[in-house]
Amino acid sequence: MHELVEFAVEKALELGAGYAEARFEEKNGTSLAMKNGNPEGLSIISEKGIGVRVLVDGGMGFASTNVLTKESVAEAVKKAVKLAKAASRVRNESIRFSDEDFHRVSYKVKMKKDFRDVSPEEKMELLRKIEEEVKGTGVNVPMRYLGYSDQLWKKIFVNSEGAYVKSKIPRVSVMYNLVVFENGQMEQAPFVQRAFSGGLELIEKDEPWSWAVKDVQALKKLIYEGQKPPEGKVDLVISPEVAGIAVHESVGHPYEADRIFGREAAQAGESFVKPDMLGERIGSDAVTVIEDPTIPNSWGFYLYDDEGVKARPRYLIKDGIITEFLTNREYAAKLGQRSNAAARAINYNREPIVRMANTYLAPGDYSFEELIEDIKLGVYMVSFNEWNIDDRRYQQRYIGREAYLIENGEIKHPVRRPILEITTRALWSSVDAVGKEVEMFPGTCGKGEPGQGVPVWMGGAHARLRDIPLRRP
């Protein structure tokens, strides 16, 4: 296949492109669903194709094809070059890419238990196990939607500046939506996902059924014992799961350089962060946020991005100070920097754009007991359902699913739907202590048009926020 990828790049240069890259991607896998105990059917995923991106006279063009012949690829290259030329006429400034060191490399993530060797019925057993364990709790869960998915992603990336990156990354995930109905009341754990890069052994070891059991038991307890959360100014301890969504939404996204420069303005939005805010304080000393694609077996794993740049951990906030944005080559050049390898494309038919991978609140040195021991009145938010954030990533809201009252340093009864509605600056300035243990949670990060849902992890350590105006529904 690499001959065809190299052919695409050569052809683009021949047709007048100043820069060209081609990316072959092949995805093979299986997905299964089970709805209220019924197997919903099997879906076999098998797709491949080539995407070509070029710069011509400072304009950018992209075309893709899933017909993998020389003629068809040549046709796609021709279209990309033509589109780039036409686009260059509606530009004020030429698009330029940062200078980078490129490599010829090949890497893969190994599977101990290769999901290709496992039959669909055996994979369905994983879902059946969730069914059985959930039923075994005796909690009434009338609606149960379960999903399993595995995919092997193979890629070959070549550009006109000497990059050649070949990779093979397997990804497995299980998700569930469980609706608990007890005592005339209903609570829900929707779209809960467990996901990894690697083999089936990672799902088996993670035991998604244990998470499901924990969820339905917590929801039952919430129904029977839940009380109103305290209102007004209290202390709030957020779990790694809640810290994860908060760093993803209010740190990761607004630090995406394409958003900062307005390229996403009509879709995924803009940012309150401006280029001159590097070095500015955004949170307390306790807050460090790291973005790291290289975490082994992570859901957002990669070692080279989709522009061929080598990945590394990126410190978005260090000790409360904005230290780095997420960049691709286009926006690294605008900032006068080198790319930090945040360019990702979800498939051969999508352009690489600036994306997160695994974003987390770095650990501090507090044990969980130390975090809560001097809280007189507060809330511990363990998981969340409803969440959203504005266009500029400044005004956000997270509503607790599982949450508890903290009183005089002790965890007490569950509380219903405590609402954290807060600005980004207030959120990160309120953190006065961070726990020792980091935990990660998977998600699908949406951005781009057409949409590119990319796998990410988000998480971190527990964090304590002081004097938070907590609300009730």
Q: Contacts with other proteins in 428-457 (CB under 8 A)?
A: 430, 449-451
Out of 7, 145, 315, 368, name the contact with other proteins by CB under 8 A.
145
Backbone angles phi, psi at 228, to 5 degrees: -65, 140
User: Shortest Cβ distance from residue 66 to other proteins (Å)?
Assistant: 5
Stretch that binds other proteins, among 101-109, 199-207, 257-265, 297-305 (CB under 8 A): 257-265
User: Shortest Cβ distance from residue 54 to other proteins (Å)?
Assistant: 10
DSSP class per residue in 107-171: EE---SS-GGGS-HHHHHHHHHHHHHHHHHTT----EEEEEEEEEEEEEEEEETTS-EEEEEEEE
Residue type, 352: P
66 binds other proteins (CB under 8 A): yes
Which residues in 6-35 contact other proteins (CB under 8 A)?
Answer: 30, 33, 35
Phi-psi region of 297 (alpha: psi -120 to 50; beta: other; left: phi over 0): left
User: Shortest Cβ distance from residue 376 to other proteins (Å)?
Assistant: 19
User: Shortest Cβ distance from residue 86 to other proteins (Å)?
Assistant: 6
For other proteins, give the closer residue by CB, 438 or 456: 456
Q: How far is it between the farthest Cα atoms of the chain?
A: 73
Residue 446 burial (CB count, 10 A): 11
For other proteins, give the closer residue by CB, 25 or 292: 25
Out of 62, 153, 255, 325, name the contact with other proteins by CB under 8 A.
62
Query: Distance (Å, rounded) from C-alpha 31 to C-alpha 189?
Result: 21
Spatial contact of 226 and 415, defined as CB atoms under 8 Å apart? yes
287 binds other proteins (CB under 8 A): no
159 binds other proteins (CB under 8 A): no
Per-residue binding letters, 79-118, with other proteins (x by CB under 8 A): xx--xx-xx-xxxxx-------------------------
Stretch that binds other proteins, among 60-68, 105-113, 201-209, 404-412 (CB under 8 A): 60-68
187 binds other proteins (CB under 8 A): yes
Three-state secondary structure call for residue 215? helix
For other proteins, give the closer residue by CB, 48 or 103: 48
User: Shortest Cβ distance from residue 384 to other proteins (Å)?
Assistant: 9
183 binds other proteins (CB under 8 A): no
- CB crowding 359-396: b at 16 or more within 10 Å, else e: bbbbbbebebeebbeebeebbbbbbbeeeebeeebbeb
- What the block records as the tokens of 410 is 């002790």
User: Shortest Cβ distance from residue 78 to other proteins (Å)?
Assistant: 10
328 binds other proteins (CB under 8 A): no
User: Shortest Cβ distance from residue 395 to other proteins (Å)?
Assistant: 5
Spatial contact of 161 and 22, defined as CB atoms under 8 Å apart? no
Residue 289's contacts (CB-CB under 8 Å, 6 or more residues apart) are 247, 251, 252, 315, 316, 317, 359, 360, 361, 362, 460
User: Shortest Cβ distance from residue 351 to other proteins (Å)?
Assistant: 6
Query: Distance (Å, rounded) from C-alpha 326 to C-alpha 292?
Result: 11
Which residues in 191-250 contact other proteins (CB under 8 A)?
Answer: none
Spatial contact of 353 and 448, defined as CB atoms under 8 Å apart? yes
